[in-house]
Amino acid sequence: MIILCASSCMAQKSNFDEALYTSYDSYKVEGLDIRRIKYDDIRGHISELKDDKNYTVKQVGASIGGKPINLIKFGNGDTKVLLWSQMHGDESTATRALFDIIHFFQSQGHESEKKAILDNLTIYMIPMLNPDGAENFVRQNLLGIDINRDAVRQQTPEGQTLKRVRDSLNPEFGFNLHDQSTYYNAVRTDNPASLSFLAPAYNYEKDINTVRGNAMKVIVHINQVLQNYIPGSVGRYNDDFEPRAFGDNITKWGTSTILIESGGNLNDPEKKELRKLNYVAILSALESIATKNYESLSVNDYIKIPENDRKLYDLKLIGATYNLLGNDYIVDLGINKLEVDNKEKTNYFTIGRVMEIGDLSTYYGYHTLDASGMKMVNGKVYPKIVANQAELKKLNLMELLKQGYTYVRLKQLPATNLDIDVPFNLVSESAKIPDFNLHIGTPATFLLITDEGIKYTVVNGNLIDLKNNLPKRVRGILLN
């Protein structure tokens, strides 16, 4: 792990920042626990605000599919702050955090800090800019356009809405809220870039004027706070100028823009912890803007935040042996668990696949195993046909894994991959079991063996240490 900043950028924990983190469960909005939220999941929360005199809710546009785009306003200060989320429909972490933030202001506690924020800021939120994309859990809008590349042509009604709102408000600060790949890491470390930030450039030269500099200073403040909770896991997003992007142009138009990207976090598939950290980061930033304490910070400490890199795998194996045409080869493997949505885009299953083979010494893994001296071989098919999963679970599953079984034939297969809750790939009575032929895209199910026997099993990209208890959430896939 590398040291993030010089002493001037050491983590600083205020009572308010610490309380935001520790008291989060008191303010978290229920019913938004999964990433695949849709407009209907937030509709009720927006409607409730219309009955609260402290909030103004206005429909400021509509998506191509006719879904409302809402602007929520609260606070009475001279400084205007605009936050917009989910312009990419499959990036919902901050959307959920925005409703937590609203609930924070509606609830008891932290009265002096809330008063300082609301007396000095007027806050505007567009919680879901791309509701059609959210409905289908895809990045683009219904036309297939990436709204974040529509700042110049403004071909999309969603992009037109954001431009119109920004121009009418002319806010001093803007928060552009996104999710990034879980496979980003802080450069040259095995730390995931759990949250990454950017003060977007407004020209190719990447000049720093007062507008961009203020965004950098706010990010420095947020980084200081987050180092207390995710040390080493804050990244700095690439700042190459993208002339079509909204963040770059909104900076050019005079708004200090802070991009927040929610990445990956160990054992956090629905990004619940990252939702919490968004809540802490944004509220802490609002307090810093309201009190102007960001002004004393240095843009140099922004530059010291490690850049994003994309060198993480879900599982990295080092130095495994693979036999090809009678010869043994020593290779590293990078394995990812790829999400596959159900038809309704409300849930997903994962398929583990080999993504890279060779020297991965400059890459990292959420889980890493030194497989030196271990051979990769195909798993076996359990010789008995089992009635269904319920009957399978009556067996000693770990003992079956220790015997090298990774496939089980069932008379009654589950309806879908989502219905699998056992650590085996399930097949029909007559299905052919695939050979383990190592190449990019190979399904990641195999054994790791030595002369002493089987040491580890990999089932659908999940590493199982046969010396330990069976880990939770290990699921195979359905092979017809």
DSSP collapsed to 3 states, the chain? CCCCCCHHHCCCCCHHHHHHHHCHHHCCCCCCCCCCCCHHHHHHHHHHHCCCCCCEEEEEEECCCCCEEEEEEEECCCEEEEEEECCCCCCCHHHHHHHHHHHHHHCCCCHHHHHHHHHHEEEEEECCCCHHHHHHCCCCCCCCCCHHHCCCCCCCHHHHHHHHHHHHHCCCEEEEEEECCCCCEECCCCCECCEEEECCCCCCCCCCCHHHHHHHHHHHHHHHHHCCCCCCCEEECCCCCCCCCHHHHHHHCCCEEEEEEECCCCCCCCCHHHHHHHHHHHHHHHHHHHHCHHHHCCCHHHHCCCEEECCEEEEEEEEEEEEECCEEEEEEEEEEEEEEECCCCCCEEEEEEEEEEECCCCCEEEEEEECCCCEEECCEECCCCECCHHHHCCCCHHHHHHCCEEEEEECCCCCCHHHCCCCCEEECCCCCCCCCCCCCCCECCEEEEECCEEEEEEECCEEEECCCCCCCCCCCCEEC
pLDDT band at 11 (very low <50, low <70, confident <90, very high): low
The neighbouring-strand residues paired with 138 are none
Q: Of 271, 294, 309, which residue sits at a domain end? A: 309
Evaluated on CA atoms 414, 415, 421, 427, the torsion sign reads positive
How far is it, in rounded angstroms, from Cα 128 to Cα 87?
7
Q: Average pLDDT in the 396-410 region? A: 98
Q: Of 309, 341, 373, which residue sits at a domain end? A: 309
How far is it, in rounded angstroms, from Cα 132 to Cα 369?
41
* 301 in a structural domain: yes
pLDDT band at 18 (very low <50, low <70, confident <90, very high): very high
Are 264 and 326 members of one domain?
A: no
Residue 242 has pLDDT above 90, yes or no: yes
Q: Average pLDDT in the 164-175 region? A: 98
Burial of 223 (0-12, 13-18, 19+ CB in 10 A): buried
- Could you tell me the two tokens for 465? 């240490």
Are 296 and 340 members of one domain?
A: no
Q: Average pLDDT in the 304-317 region? A: 98
How far is it, in rounded angstroms, from Cα 5 to Cα 378?
46
* Contact by Cβ (8 Å): 271, 182: no
Are 257 and 395 members of one domain?
A: no
Query: Kind of pairing, strands 79-85 and 173-179?
Result: parallel
Are 240 and 117 members of one domain?
A: yes
* 103 in a structural domain: yes
pLDDT band at 2 (very low <50, low <70, confident <90, very high): very low
* 216 in a structural domain: yes
Residue 41 has pLDDT above 90, yes or no: yes
Query: Can you give the CATH number for the domain in which 182 is found?
Result: 3.40.630.10
The neighbouring-strand residues paired with 457 are 447, 464
Are 293 and 151 members of one domain?
A: yes
- pLDDT tens figures, 449-467: 999 999 999 999 999 999 9
Query: Kind of pairing, strands 121-126 and 79-85?
Result: parallel
- pLDDT tens figures, 344-373: 999 999 999 999 999 999 999 999 999 999
Q: Average pLDDT in the 40-66 region? A: 97
Residue 10 has pLDDT above 50, yes or no: no
pLDDT band at 472 (very low <50, low <70, confident <90, very high): confident
Residue 303 has pLDDT above 70, yes or no: yes
Between the two ends of the chain, the Cα-to-Cα distance in Å is 44
Query: Can you give the CATH number for the domain in which 463 is found?
Result: 2.30.40.10
- How many other CB atoms sit within 10 Å of the CB of residue 334? 23
* Contact by Cβ (8 Å): 447, 377: yes
The identity of residue 361, as a single letter, is: S
The neighbouring-strand residues paired with 368 are 316
pLDDT band at 166 (very low <50, low <70, confident <90, very high): very high
- Could you tell me the two tokens for 119? 């007396």
Are 303 and 331 members of one domain?
A: no
* 1 in a structural domain: no
Q: Residue 14's pLDDT is what?
A: 79
Q: Residue 25's pLDDT is what?
A: 97
Evaluated on CA atoms 48, 52, 55, 57, the torsion sign reads positive
Q: Residue 5's pLDDT is what?
A: 43
**pLDDT > 70 fraction of the chain, expressed in percent and rounded:** 97
Evaluated on CA atoms 337, 310, 192, 139, the torsion sign reads negative
How far is it, in rounded angstroms, from Cα 83 to Cα 99?
12
- pLDDT tens figures, 313-333: 999 999 999 999 999 999 999
The neighbouring-strand residues paired with 366 are none
For residue 167, give its domain range: 7-309
Are 99 and 206 members of one domain?
A: yes
Q: Residue 7's pLDDT is what?
A: 35
Are 216 and 353 members of one domain?
A: no
Q: Residue 221's pLDDT is what?
A: 98
Q: Average pLDDT in the 11-33 region? A: 90
Residue 1 has pLDDT above 70, yes or no: no
Q: Average pLDDT in the 225-246 region? A: 98
**Whole-number mean pLDDT of the chain?**
96
Q: pTM (2 decimals)? A: 0.95
pLDDT band at 285 (very low <50, low <70, confident <90, very high): very high
- pLDDT tens figures, 65-102: 999 999 999 999 999 999 999 999 999 999 999 999 99
* Contact by Cβ (8 Å): 105, 147: no
Q: Residue 277's pLDDT is what?
A: 98
Q: Average pLDDT in the 412-428 region? A: 97
* 2 in a structural domain: no
Are 285 and 354 members of one domain?
A: no
Q: Average pLDDT in the 411-416 region? A: 96
Q: Average pLDDT in the 248-264 region? A: 98
Q: Residue 12's pLDDT is what?
A: 56
* 326 in a structural domain: yes
pLDDT band at 13 (very low <50, low <70, confident <90, very high): low
Are 361 and 285 members of one domain?
A: no
The neighbouring-strand residues paired with 61 are 69
* 325 in a structural domain: yes
Are 280 and 357 members of one domain?
A: no
Domains in the chain, number: 2
Are 287 and 326 members of one domain?
A: no
How far is it, in rounded angstroms, from Cα 161 to Cα 124?
14
* 290 in a structural domain: yes
Q: Of 280, 309, 338, which residue sits at a domain end? A: 309
